[in-house]
Amino acid sequence: MPAQLFDASFYRAFNSDLAGLTDEQASSHFLTYGLSEGRIFSPFVNLQFYQARNPDLAAAGLTSNQQLFQHLQDFGVAEGRAFSPFLDLDFYLANNPDVNQAFAGSREQAFQHLQTYGLSEARIFSPFVDLNFYLANNPDVAAFYGNNRFGVLQHLQMYGLNEGRAFSPFVDLNFYLANNPDVNQAFAGDRHLALQHLQTYGLNESRKFTPFFDLNYYKANNPDLIDAGLNNTQLLQHFQMYGLRENRVFAPAFDLNYYRSLNPDLVAAGLNERGIYEHFQRHGLAEGRLASPNFNVQVYLANNSDLIAEGFNNQQAYEHYLTFGQGEGRPGSDYVGDSLASARLVGLSATPNSITDFVGASDTADWYQFTLDRAGEWRRSLNVQNGKVTLQLAQDSNNNGAIEQGEILQTLTATSATTLADTGGILESGNYYVQIAPANSETNTNYSLSLAVNPSPLLANNTGLTLKTGSMRVIDSNQLRVVDADTNATQLIYTLKDVPLNGSLQLNGLAISVNQTFTQDDINQGRVSYQNNGGTITSDYFGFTVTDGTTTLDSNFNFSLGRNLPSLLKDINPGAGSSEIYDLTNVNGTLYFRANDGVHGSELWKSNGTPEGTVLVTDLNPGASSSSPIFLTSFNDKLYFAAAINNGTSFRSGLWSSDGTAEGTTLVKELFIVNHMDSPPESLLNVNGILYFSVYDEVTGHELWRSDGTAEGTVLVKDIATGSGGSRPYGLTNVNGTIYFMADDGIRGRELWKSDGTVEGTVLVKDINPGSSSSDPIFLINVDGTLLFYGTDGIRGKELWKSDGTAEGTVLVKDINPNSFFGSSPNFSGYVINNTLYFSANDITHGLELWKSDGTAEGTVLVKDISPGASSSSPLPGYVINDTLYFAARDGSNELGLWKTDGTLAGTTLIKDIDLWFQGPFGSEANLVNIDDTLYFTGDGGSNGIELWQTDGTPEGTSMVADISVGSGSSYPTYLTNINGTLYFTANDGVHGAELWMIEPSVVAG
C-alpha cells in the first residue's frame, strides 16, 4: 500500500505563492512543478534528508526528487527508512503499542494513523521533537494554535526552529551549536540543518546536544545497555522510554533522584519521572534548585567572579560548567563536609575517584571518609590551581569524634600548578579520614583530589551453579571469579582441595584431582566444567584455595541439582554471542526455528530436544548471508515458511517447504523478484488444508494468495485492487472455513472482505464507512461462528462490530464510548471463553479496562474497573486456561500485576504484583504458555531481574522457576513454546548469549 506523503494544506502554508490553490490544484502543481523545484510538501517528509540518510539510493541511481518521492512512497516508509528529522515511525510504534498492535507493525498504516489521529491525540512520534514540550515552553504558540497540533508542527518548522525556541526536553540545538563550533560554522547557525546533522552524524559521533542528558555519561554508568549492543540512537530512545522511569544515571550535573528528594513539592504535584526531568529544565534551574550533589549554581557563580562580571544567568552558568568548567578544574559545588562528623564518604577502588572542590575564605576545611574492607595499597593525587593546601590522612582510632596528634598518619603540602601523585603505602582494613585545608584562608583555592586503592585479592563471584541432574555445565567467571588489582588472570592460581562427591571437576574435558591447579584465565576462557554423574543427590560441591602469590583464599563452590530445572539445550552461536532465535514452531513434535550460528547467517534449524539433535536444516543462503525464514507454519505434516535468497543481483523470495532434511527443503514457488527489496509472503493461515497469505507481486501488488503446497497450486486468489497498487490484505481470520480480512480495493478504503478461496467468493462484506474512507477493521476474531472486530463507520469511533458474512448481518454491537471520535481504544484482539469475547475498552468513565461481550449490546459489559475511576488498568495480552483468563493489568496504584478472571466481578482478582514482560519488536506480544494447567510466563520480580515464572492461579503457587541469569541480571525468557509437554524458550544466562533452553516433560519446578 503506497504511503500518503503529500499534504495540500501544508504545501499551501509553506509556499505562500500557492495560498489560493484548492487541494486538487495544489496536488497538480506539486506533481508538475513543486517536486522538481524541491518545495516542501509535508511536515513529515524531507526528501533531502531521505537522500542523505539513505546513501544506497544514490548508488542505485535514485537522485531526482521524483525518484526519491516514488521510492519513499512505494518502499521507503514500509522498509523503515529515515525520511524526516521530525518523525521516526519505529519510535512512534514503540511508544504507542496500541497502534503497533492494531496495524501489526505496518509502518504505512502507522504513518496514516499519525496524520489522521496520532498528531491530534498528542502522541509522541520522535525522539528529537516533542510538541507537548514545545507548547509548554512557548505559551504564545499555545495561545495562538490551541489544540491545532498540525499548526503547531508547522510553526515549529517554519519559524520556531530557527528562532531558537525550545522544542524537546532531550535536544537543545542552541547547546549543540555552541558545543560543536564546526557544525555552527558549516551551517551558519541554520538550525534545520543542525537538526539534520545531529541525526545523521552528530548522534553517532557522540557529540553533546543537550545540557540535561549526556549520552557518554549514560553509556559509562549503564554498562548493561552497552552489553546489550545498543547504539547511540537506541540509547537515546532507551533513555526516553525506559531510562528515566528506571531512575538511571544520565548526566554529571543532574540527578533525578536527588532533585526529587530535595523538592517534595514536585512529588506532591503528581509529577512522574519525565515531569520532574522537564521541571528542572523549565523552572528548577532558573529558581536555583539543586539537582545534583556535583553542581550548585549559586556556589558556582559565587566562586567564579568572571562569570558574574559577564552577567551569566543560572542557565548560562550551568552550561558553562558542562562545556568549560569541568575541564578547567572549576568546582561545581561544595558538598564536602566541613568537619570530621560531616565528612563526605567516598568509595575507593583501583580506579581513581576524582573530586574537584575548593577551600579558603568561605570553607576552611574539607573532610573525606573512606573504608577499606581489606588491606590495600593506597594512592593519592593532589593538584592545586591557585594558592597552597595541606592534605592529612588520619584515623579516629578511639572513636571520640576528633583527630588527635597521634592519629595523623600522613601529611602532604601542595602549591599552585603542582601535582603530587604517589603511593601512600599499604593501609590495613579500617576507617580513614582525609582533610584538605588551605594555607591562606582569605581567598578560595581550587583543588583536584584523586584517591584510589589497590586491594588484596577478592573472591568477587562465588554464586554456585544450578544444573540438571546428569548434565554438564561450564563454570564461568559470572559464577566463580577472583579479582586482584595488580595480578592478571593467568597468575591467579586455584588449587583443588576437595573433589566433587557425585561428579567430576574438569579442565579441558579431563578430570582434575586433589592438589591439581587451574587459573582464573581458564575459567574466563570456558575451560573449567562440572560433569554430574546422575542419581538422586540434589547437591554437590568442590573445595579450593586461590592465591595471587602472596595472599591465599579458601572456599567451596556449590552445585544445586534437579531433574526439572531449565537447561541450556545448545549454545548454537558459541561464546557470549546470541544466536538470534525466532519463530519456535511445532511440526509433529519436532521444533523448528530460525537461528544464526555466527557462520551460516540466519537460517532454518530444528531440534528433537537433545543437543546433538539440534542442527541446521539447510543453509539456503550459503555462507554468512541469511535467508531469514519467517512465518514458520505447520501444514500437511511439513513446515512451510517464507524466505529469500540473494543470488548476487537480486533477492529470490518465495514460499518454501521442509520435511526437516536439506534435500527435502525446497522452494514451492518464487513469488517475487526485485533488485532493491524483498517481499516474502505474510501471515500464513491454514484453512481446511489450504494455505492463505498476502504477498507482493509486481503485477498485482500485495494481494491474497493460496497454496496447496505445490507450485501449480500456489496462485493468486483475486486482484482486489485492480492493477499494481495492491489491496494489502491484513488480519486473515478463519470463521468456519471462510477467511475474513481487511483490504483496500482502491475505491472504498480499507474495509471488511471475505473469501472462500475463489475469485467469485472473494467479495466485500460491507462498506462500513461509506465512500473512499476506511472503517479499518482490526482485531478480527471468531466467536462461535460469528466474526467480531473493531471498526469505525465514520460517525462513531472504533467500536465493537460483528458480522455473519452478509452486509445486513454486519452491524455495530455497542457504541461503548459514544463521546469520543476515536472510540473505545482497544489494545489487544481479545480472547474467547465459552462463546464470550474478553477484550479491552475505554468508555471514558472507567478508563481502559477489561470488558466482555456475547455479541449483543446488553451482553457487552465492563468486567471490572481494576483501576477505579477514569484512570486505566490497560489490560495487556494474556492466556486462557480452563475457562480462566490470565492477563496483566495495573491497579489503582499503577502497579503492574498478574490477574485472572472467570468473567465475574468477584472472580476478577490479582494473583501477584509482578511486572510481566512482553516480547515482539515493540513489546506487544504475550509471552505466556500453558503446560499441564501451569501457566509459564516471563516476569520481573525485582531482585532477580526478568526471569521465567510459573503460576497455578494462586498467590502461593506463583513463583520464579529459576534464576537463569544469576543475581540481579535478566535472562529475558522469550518465545515460550509447549511441544508435547516440554517447554522450549530462548534465554540469556549472561554467559552464552540468548540461546535455546528447555524444561523436560512433567515440569514441577520451584
Query: With pLDDT > 70 as the criterion, what percentage of the chain qualifies?
Result: 95
Q: How many whole angstroms separate alpha carbon 883 and alpha carbon 846?
A: 25
pLDDT of residue 383: 84
| pLDDT of residue 20 exceeding 60 | yes
At 125-172, the pLDDT tens digits run: 999 999 999 999 999 999 998 888 988 998 999 899 999 999 999 999
Interatomic CA distance for residues 316 and 947, integer angstroms: 46
Q: What is d(CA 723, CA 395) in angstroms, rounded to the nearest whole number?
A: 87
Which CATH number is associated with domain 469-563?
A: 2.60.40
- 18, β-bridge pairs: none
* Mean pLDDT for the chain overall: 88
CA atoms of 764 and 758, how far apart (whole Å): 13
Residue 407 has pLDDT above 50, yes or no: yes
Identify the CA nearest to 377 among candidates 562, 548, 255, 151: 548
- The string of pLDDT tens digits covering residues 322-371 is 999 888 888 888 877 888 888 888 888 777 888 888 888 778 899 999 99
Q: What's the distance, Cα to Cα, between the start and end of the chain in Å?
A: 50
pLDDT band at 887 (very low <50, low <70, confident <90, very high): very high
Q: CA–CA separation, 946 vs 938, rounded Å?
A: 7
Task: Give residue for cell 557425585.
Answer: 502
In tens, the pLDDT along 605-625 reads: 999 998 889 999 999 988 888
User: Tell me, what's the pLDDT at 70?
Assistant: 86
d(CA 50, CA 70): 12
Q: What is the pLDDT of residue 99?
A: 86
Range(s) for CATH 2.60.40 in the chain?
469-563
Predicted confidence band of residue 209 (pLDDT cuts 50, 70, 90): very high
Note whether 1003 and 934 are within 8 A (CB).
yes
CB-CB neighbours of 760 under 10 Å = 8
18: cell is 500557492
The amino acid occupying position 651 is F
User: Is residue 924 scored above 70 in pLDDT?
Assistant: no
Class of domain 344-455: mainly beta
| Residue 560: strand pairing partners | 466, 539
Lowest mean pLDDT among 158-162, 326-330, 741-745, 789-793: 326-330
Please answer whether residues 633 and 691 qualify as being in contact, where contact means their C-beta atoms are separated by less than 8 angstroms: yes
Per-residue cell: 239 = 533513555
Residue 833's CB is within 10 A of a number of other CB atoms, namely 16
pLDDT of residue 673: 37
Evaluate if residue 96 carries a pLDDT over 70: yes
Q: Is 140 helix (H, G, I), strand (E, B) or coil?
A: helix
Lowest mean pLDDT among 240-254, 813-827, 905-919: 813-827
Three-class secondary structure of residue 177 per DSSP: helix
Closest by CA to 816, choosing from 791, 836, 835, 833, is 791
Residue-level pLDDT at 419: 62
pTM (two decimals): 0.55
User: What span, in angstroms and rounded, lies between the C-alpha atoms of 1 and 743?
Assistant: 10
Total residue length of the chain:
1006
- In the chain, ranges of CATH 2.60.120.380 domains: 344-455
